[in-house]
Amino acid sequence: MLIVTVFGTVVSSQLTNEHDFLPVDEAYPTQAELTDDGRILVRWVMPQGYYLYRHALNLVGKEGTELGSFSVPTGMQKTDEFFGEVEVYYNFLEVSAPVIAQSQAEVVIDVHYQGCADAGLCYPPEVREFRFAGLGSEVAGDSYLANVDSAEINIWVAIGSALLAGLILNLMPCVFPILSIKALSMVQSAGESDNIRHAIGYLSGVVATFLALAVLLLVLRAFGAAIGWGFQLQSPGFVAAMVLLFFIMSMNMLGVIEIPGFGISMTQPNPFVTGILAVIVATPCTVPFMAAAVGYAITQGGFDLVLIMVTMGVGMALPYIVVTATPRIASWLPRPGQWMVTFKRIMSVPLVLTVVWLVWVLTRQIGSIGVVWVLGAMALLAIAAFVGRRQANWLTSIWAIMFIVIGGAVYAVSWPNDSGASTRAENFEYRRFQEMIATKRPIFLNVTADWCLTCLANERTTLSRESVRGDFNRRGVTYIKVDWTNRDAQVTQLLEQFGRYGVPMYVFYPSSGQPIVLPQVLTPDLVHDYIDEYEG
């Protein structure tokens, strides 16, 4: 370590004259915080082209302070000129450790770290001391935390952000597939006396699904899976199941098939099932306030994540509850009648379009061969529905379920080994991306996924516009599109470095200065203003 220190110091003194390298405190601004639950959090937000080494990171208690197990995320693999194969972190890093004992009023720690610059400078190992007077106190160096939404919020701000995020989810393009079911359920409940039961049923379905997603997210991440928000639609098997489910529901609304007892009867949409479907379909995309809430929850631990997810579910269900459970508002809805038959046929159109969209997503994930099996299962369902029209009883339902199981089994057994790479965009290479950043040319980064309707809407309404592309060309901005349709640990790590856990994410790297994270909903004027401000 002494040799490394001396070598780093020599290199630093020689190269600083040749390149405009930042001082170490500006290259690695360090912030440390003692949370209310007794954990030390240390964060870095690094400029472009600077990184930290995993092997040099450590948190050490001193003066009677003892720390528990050191928690650090998985970094990127890099071939280093001096250290060989190493694990490094670019842009953003947060590490933590619990305080398990202290012998005096203050909590005192040393933070050990070392970093280098892509341009060739290796800084010597650094040690920063932090002292905390008590729980919840914060002492920071010259930290730069702009664009990292979850960096400086507490549990109450996170809860408020989660509630707002849930409300906004109802306005995002992601909810398009479920609008017809929600509209049908609202209209149907207008003629019922137990509107409260409908509201509670929908709320229960939404909250239960958010809770299940929180638990699953915690379990998978505990086992080292690099996943984020919307991870369920990164599974081709899950998408295939959704194709079949929405196909059944569209046939149901068209009056072709009914499956009693499964909450998708033509006579009454089950509010609990409606809530489940709303969450499954509407949550792949991120919305304003979500990044701060989810980012905070994931870094804090299990209980906070569950609490934040449940709060987001309440926010998402709130408009439906207000409409269905408030007599005055519910009275504005038209009463059920014969016109409902036509209304249900019209409401089937979004579901049919959803089936088409999900089949397209599946094609992008696994290629055309796997999709053939899904279409075959859909054909079997259609045959079962046609036969069942003559005997609309439980036997028909059993036959339909058997066709689903058989089709799914054949589909699973025959799943192609080729993951459809030929149909996907070029894989994201983190090292090559960092090399592009090191050129100091402006970059517009678009992290997207085919199953994210908000992403697709932004690309259609903004990023594909001639005016926006013209702005890119005039200012010399390189446009990079990163695909997260399938699970990719490097893309997940890239999102986490900016405190994000889902898509869309848009980051503008100006030719000088720090990267800027843009809002999740884009407009041509917004993109134009950002480019003009930083590259004008």
431 and 512 inside one domain = yes
Could you read off the pLDDT of 358-402 as tens digits, one per residue?
Answer: 888 888 777 777 677 777 777 777 666 666 555 545 445 554 555
**Number of domains composing the chain:** 3
Which positions ≥6 away from 390 have C-beta within 8 Å?
A: none
**248 contacts 258 by C-beta, under 8 angstroms:** no
**Higher model confidence: residue 171 or residue 221?**
171
Task: Specify the pLDDT at position 190.
Answer: 53
238 and 208 inside one domain = yes
**Higher model confidence: residue 366 or residue 339?**
366
Instruction: Pick the range with the lowest mean pLDDT from 117-131, 389-403, 475-489.
Output: 389-403
Task: Specify the pLDDT at position 189.
Answer: 58
Mean pLDDT of 33-61: 87
Mean pLDDT of 21-39: 84
Query: How crowded is the C-beta side of 325, counted as CA atoms within 13 Å?
Result: 15
Task: Specify the pLDDT at position 262.
Answer: 43
Task: Specify the pLDDT at position 146.
Answer: 31
150 is a domain residue: no
The residue from 360, 384, 413 where one domain ends is 413
353 and 484 inside one domain = no
130 and 185 inside one domain = no
**198 contacts 189 by C-beta, under 8 angstroms:** yes
Could you read off the pLDDT of 449-482 as tens digits, one per residue?
Answer: 888 878 888 998 999 999 999 999 999 999 999 9
Mean pLDDT of 56-72: 85
Dmax (CA) of the chain: 87
Could you read off the pLDDT of 288-324 as tens digits, one per residue?
Answer: 777 667 767 766 667 888 898 899 999 988 888 887 7
Helices within 265-416 (DSSP H only): 271-282, 290-300, 302-325, 327-330, 339-366, 368-388, 394-413
127 and 187 inside one domain = no
399 is a domain residue: yes
- Reported for 74-77, long-range contacts at CB under 8 A and 24+ positions apart, including other chains, are 74/224, 74/226, 74/489, 74/493, 75/493, 76/430, 76/431, 76/490, 76/493
Which positions ≥6 away from 394 have C-beta within 8 Å?
A: 260
Task: Specify the pLDDT at position 186.
Answer: 64
Domain at 470, CATH number:
3.40.30.10
Rounded Cα gap, residues 54 and 95, in angstroms: 11
Can you count the helices (H) and strands (E) in the chain? 18, 16
225 and 321 inside one domain = yes
H/E stretch holding 478 reads strand 478-483
Is the pLDDT confidence value at 283 over 60? yes
134 and 165 inside one domain = no
Q: How many CB atoms lie within 10 A of CB 140?
A: 15
Q: Which amino acid is at 396?
A: T
419 is a domain residue: no
396 and 452 inside one domain = no
**Centroid of chain to Cα 95:** 20
Which positions ≥6 away from 473 have C-beta within 8 Å?
A: none
409 and 430 inside one domain = no
Instruction: Pick the range with the lowest mean pLDDT from 52-56, 140-144, 188-192, 532-536.
Output: 140-144
| CA triple 225-245-375, angle to 5 deg | 95
343 and 236 inside one domain = yes
271 and 345 inside one domain = yes
Q: Which of 1-10, 117-126, 147-156, 327-336 has the highest mean pLDDT?
A: 117-126
215 is a domain residue: yes
421 is a domain residue: no
Rounded Cα gap, residues 532 and 526, in angstroms: 10
H/E stretch holding 535 reads helix 524-535
Q: Which amino acid is at 28?
A: Y
Rounded Cα gap, residues 276 and 262, in angstroms: 13
Strand locations in 81-134 (E):
84-90, 92-101, 107-113, 115-117, 126-132
Where does the pLDDT of residue 257 fall: very low under 50, low under 70, confident under 90, or very high at 90 and above? low
H/E stretch holding 170 reads none
Is the pLDDT confidence value at 38 over 70? yes
Is the pLDDT confidence value at 420 over 50? no
Domain at 58, CATH number:
2.60.40.1250
pTM score:
0.52
How high is the mean pLDDT of the chain? 74
The residue from 112, 140, 168 where one domain ends is 140
149 is a domain residue: no
Torsion sign (Cα): 346, 348, 350, 355 = negative
408 is a domain residue: yes
**39 contacts 87 by C-beta, under 8 angstroms:** no
Torsion sign (Cα): 170, 174, 176, 181 = negative
The residue from 356, 382, 413 where one domain ends is 413
Instruction: Pick the range with the lowest mean pLDDT from 184-188, 212-216, 275-279.
Output: 184-188
120 and 202 inside one domain = no
Rounded Cα gap, residues 412 and 454, in angstroms: 30
Question: Residue 251 — φ and ψ, nearest 5°?
Answer: -65, -35
Please return the burial class of 227, using the count of CB atoms within 10 Å of its CB with bins 0-12, 13-18 and 19+.
middle
**331 contacts 189 by C-beta, under 8 angstroms:** no
Is the pLDDT confidence value at 215 over 60? yes
452, 469, 431: which is closest to 520 by C-alpha?
Answer: 452
Q: Range of 339's domain?
A: 155-413
Task: Specify the pLDDT at position 446.
Answer: 94
420 is a domain residue: no
